[in-house]
Amino acid sequence: MSAVETDNEDTLSILVATDNHLGYMERDPVRGLDSFSAFGEILQLAQLHKADMVLLGGDLFHDNRPSRKCLHQAMTQLRRTCMGDGRVGIEHLSDPSVDFGPQYMHVNYEDPNMNIALPVFLIHGNHDDPSGDGNLSAIDVLAVNGL
């Protein structure tokens, strides 16, 4: 993020991160937590700089089928950072059923049953593309849990 901060309410602050590759070398005793640590730092920077949203531009996970440990770590970090009573200053104007599928009537931060303080938008990368039965990915598991 820029060192120049602005309090202008007309400015949209977006933290963009790509190629997080959560779970990369997760079984390595030395580097096993590197990807999770880096992802945690990204989310902390978004909070610190009061980003309006985070855009994760692909390859959140290193593997198409991340381990349970990897998925748990990702969900824990997203819940810790993104859920809360903060005010979300952006509005989703298009049809959520078109953007997110027919099972979602609201983007998570506009859902009356959820408290989202920091919206995170993800797109699939080549490492975490949907596949198999139902054409689903780990990102779909995050979405169905409101993350």
Task: Give the span between the Cα atoms of 118 and 89, in whole angstroms.
Answer: 10
Whether 127 is a known active-site residue: answer yes
Instruction: Reduce the DSSP state of residue 128 to 3 states and report it.
Output: coil
Annotated catalytic residue within 21, 62, 124, 127 = 127
How is residue 12 annotated by DSSP? P
Task: List beta partners, residue 22.
Answer: 61
- Going along 32-140, which residue ranges are E strands? 53-56, 120-122
Q: Are 138 and 65 in contact (CB under 8 A)?
A: yes
∠ Cα 11 13 17 (to 5°) = 155
Positions marked catalytic:
127
